[in-house]
Amino acid sequence: MKLLLFILLVSHPLYCSSSDELLSQIIDNLLKTSRPDRYGTYEPKAVGNDWFAIEVDAADRHRADSIARTAGFVIEGRLQSFENIYLASKRSRHKRDTDAIVRELISLKEVKWAEHLVPLYREKRAVIFSDPLYEEQLRSWSSPPNMFIAEAWAEGFTGKGVTLAVLDDEVDSSHEDLQLAYDPDISYSFVKKHPRGTEETHGTRCAGIIAMTANNSKCGVGVAHQSRLGGLTVLADNQFLNDAIEGDALAYKSDRIDIYSASWGPKDDGQSAERPGSLAQKAIEFGAVHGRRGLGSLYIWASGNGGLEEDDCAMDGYASNLHTITLGVASSTGVPPWYAEGCSAVIASISEASTNSNGMVTTDVDNKCVSFAGSSAAAPLAAGILALALEAKCSAPGTKTSSITSDNEHLATSSPSYWTVNGAGLRFSRYFGFGVLNALRLTTSARYWKTVQPVSSCSRQFDVLNGTFSANSPLTIELSFESCAETSAEVNWLERLQFDVSITHPRRGLISLFLTSPA
């Protein structure tokens, strides 16, 4: 067994910048908001084995056409959020090894990088039932554990001045309850144009939780109902994603979008283990560090609905990413809902609320209203609460450093078996994180946040040779790590830890890996 990488990382909390703050230097000149040119807009087509993403080192963008034609490729368009990365297709009657085609591309003098685009299945975090009374079993916001959203509104925080984007299927921008908040300038469709499918309601429902208009006698009120909302269409019936589409969407206008909300991921089947591709990972890293005018955009992810399949969000490389904020769901009884997935990446949770409520009212396509359930609601609801916090921070800068504020007293009392106490003396649950988000506490403390130091990371490689283990004889490995003390990469406050491990075993499902802190 070989342990590849051990990383300590510190990330920054939410904070506000002045309007004239300059953008931070862009990493490796790849990720930029697109400028209009003939590659600036493209209509993605069905992606198969003959599609590739290539990075061309050419000052003249039209040079990309010439380079591609030389190798028998056709440039289909440029990505919206990446500088000099194009979609290319290979027109060939005979199927070839895709690795050989990539090597052929990279061998060209002006091609810096290339990747074969594999179709990716992405599942919306939806819970769908045919039971006629299921909608009546959904929960409300204010039942224990209370998220205190209305109380934050009473303090004057409604998301004004904050921009959010829902990455999902198409948002119905014509809906009466979304028209006021919807901003076409931060919206884009990354999928092939098509009539709306019968299952393409998910994005509109997520959008409504964030931004439904108040006092218009329609549906309900969005958590951040005075925010600006964009729809980034990446999901569609009978269409697959790929790394280029994901990366393009995750980096789209990150200088303007404060918060991205995503309620989808790999299959929740207890078997699928996937992580972002190279472009998607670059996009998330760039946005989290350099987005939001140099302060870092927030990427909010739902933990997943694979509870019945014994799925674990640690197997989801989007939810367990160092640069995303993952939300779980807590029931009023203090136990995880039947569909809930847990993992150490869950930072906080939202309240599913009581069994007596009418549920989370939100928008539906064709100007309808509907109730919404599952972890799909967690990401947009948390995104809305964090939008209130960003507004609060901008309204009253102060001197106190803080972080995401949540309540865990009710849950810890109701279900102590789901909780542990970490080395810092804080309660933590792999299903609920540090507790249910408390909008009132969050907005109150946000007014006193101050900027922390830039992210610092420290890594070390360990080699463990000929390590063996079995069901009756587990392998325990103790690793000593000094966090790069007295170096430029010294880590003084630990927020995230990543452990990359490579194990050779004939059946991965039989392996359990536990990472234990000495604290």
Catalytic-labelled residue, pool 81, 116, 183, 202: 202
Contacts of 346 (CB under 8 A, 6+ apart): 303, 313, 326, 327, 328, 429, 430, 431, 432, 433
447 neighbors 161 (Cβ within 8 angstroms):
no
Residue 156 DSSP label: T
Alpha carbons 481 and 483: distance in angstroms, whole number: 6
Note whether 206 and 212 are within 8 A (CB): no
Q: Is 168 a catalytic residue?
A: yes
Amino acid at 270: G
Ranges of beta strands (E only) in 139-256 are 163-168, 188-189, 228-233
Measured between alpha carbons, how far is residue 430 from residues 334, 363, 516 in Å? 13, 31, 14
Q: Which residues pair with 55 in a beta bridge?
A: 85, 113
Q: What tokens were used for 297? A: 């955009």
Single out the catalytic residue among 254, 376, 402, 429.
376
User: Which phi and psi (to 5°) does residue 204 adopt?
Assistant: -65, -35
Angstrom distance (rounded) from CA 491 to CA 271? 35
User: Can you point out the beta strands (E) in 172-239?
Assistant: 188-189, 228-233
Exposure string over 395-409, b if 16+ CB within 10 A, otherwise e: beeeeeebbbbbbbe
Among residues 465, 439, 220, the alpha carbon closest in space to that of 348 is found at: 439
E strand or H helix at 75: strand 73-78
Are the beta carbons of 214 and 252 closer than 8 angstroms? no
- Of the candidates 168, 169, 312, 364, the residue annotated as catalytic is 168
Rounded Cα–Cα distance for residues 362 and 381 (Å): 11
- DSSP three-state, residue 231: strand
Tokens of 147: 């998220």
What tokens does 513 get? 């890996």
Provide the 3-class DSSP secondary structure of residue 485.
Answer: coil
Report how many helices (DSSP H) and strands (DSSP E) the chain contains, helices first.
9, 22
List, by residue number, the catalytic residues.
Answer: 168, 202, 376
